[in-house]
Copies of this chain bind each other. A is one copy, B any other.
Amino acid sequence: MKATLQTVADAVGVSRSTVSNAYSRPDQLSTPLRERILATAAELGYPGPHAAARSLRKGRAGAVGVLFTANLSYAFVDPYAVQFLRGLAESAERHDTGLLLLPLSHDDAESAERKVRHAVVDGFCVYNVPEWHRSRSVLATLGLPIVTTEYRPQADQAGVGVDDRAACRTVAEHLMQWGHRDVAVVSVFDAPGNDRPTEVTDIDAVPAYEARQRLLGIRDAVVGAGVDWSTVTVLNASANSRDAGRTAASQLLDRTARPSAIIACTDVIALGVIDAMNDRRLRPGVDVSVTGFDDIPEASAYGLSTIRQPAVDRGVIAAELLLDPPPDPADRHVLLPTELVIRSSTGSPTKRR
């Protein structure tokens, strides 16, 4: 038979409350009694208060759920995500809280819903989950605090993010100022069943907030420079990975009308673009200009011009918003700064032919 509080209480000859106190409130009973209880517990093989029972009774779980799409392994592959998680972890730790990582497949809505429902947590952090995903609506009904990685002041969920649109406008303007007129874009967002580069024709139909904002920003700059937006090819990579970026970029680079600049929506994708260029002996910033977004550590080694956005801080703030929310709801939307970082991957367009 499994030992429980009761078992110990009976063995020592005290009540359950006393045994409970021995564990959770040492100051509520005399030291000798406490020690006797603990000793008996050890003898009986009582493992200490049952976590789930305790959690049920106290109404606190001591953990927050972190939602990702795709299988969670991708999260660990993206340096930006890793940094973000790091911040999250740092600040969760200060609140004596664990991180429950919840990988949500997007094929299997059932299982995603189950995972979210079964999670014993005090709140959720939604990291880059597309708007159409079932978990989003389930989450809303759960009544637990939620924080997203988006800055949307009008939303009811707390969030921390950057002005993706403005930032992307800046980086695209940088290219326009160099004189680029034949630009192409490699975006990345989750859409049901896209396993290879897909052309994006309608920005408003992009089902992920962040990706949409970035594309809008790029369009702002392009149109602002007097270029016809319909001449710009936008490809959506199949995943936020170097390989996917390379695959998408290959399609762009092998066209007869090769673009003079490629705007990648993340650094990881941009590195893939550079890979594809290397395959073809094209030099970044000379033959074709490339830009990224995030400024992950690798970016500088590759001389990638990009937008820097805080990663660790974003995680820290997200956790803070969840675990110690500011009283004024207006303060639950945090806008972080971004910065254009110019390196060697951008330059003037080469005149060809």
Contact = CB atoms under 8 A, between A and B. Distances in A.
A120 B55 contact: yes
A86 B114 CA distance: 21
Interface stretch (A92-100, A170-178, A251-259, A275-283): A92-100
A53 interface: yes
B93 A83 contact: no
A179 interface: no
A83 B120 CA distance: 26
Nearest to A54: B118
Specify how many copies of this chain sit in the oligomer: 2
Interface SS of A by simple majority: helix
A62 B117 CA distance: 11
Q: Which of A47, A50, A76, A93 has the most CB of B within 10 A?
A: A76
Contacts of A103: 89, 92-93, 98
A63 B120 contact: yes
A55 to B, nearest CB: 4
Q: Which of A51, A119, A121 has the most CB of B within 10 A?
A: A51
B98 A115 contact: yes
A288 interface: no
Q: Which of A82, A96, A100 has the most CB of B within 10 A?
A: A100
B90 A73 contact: yes
A9 interface: no
B117 A89 contact: no
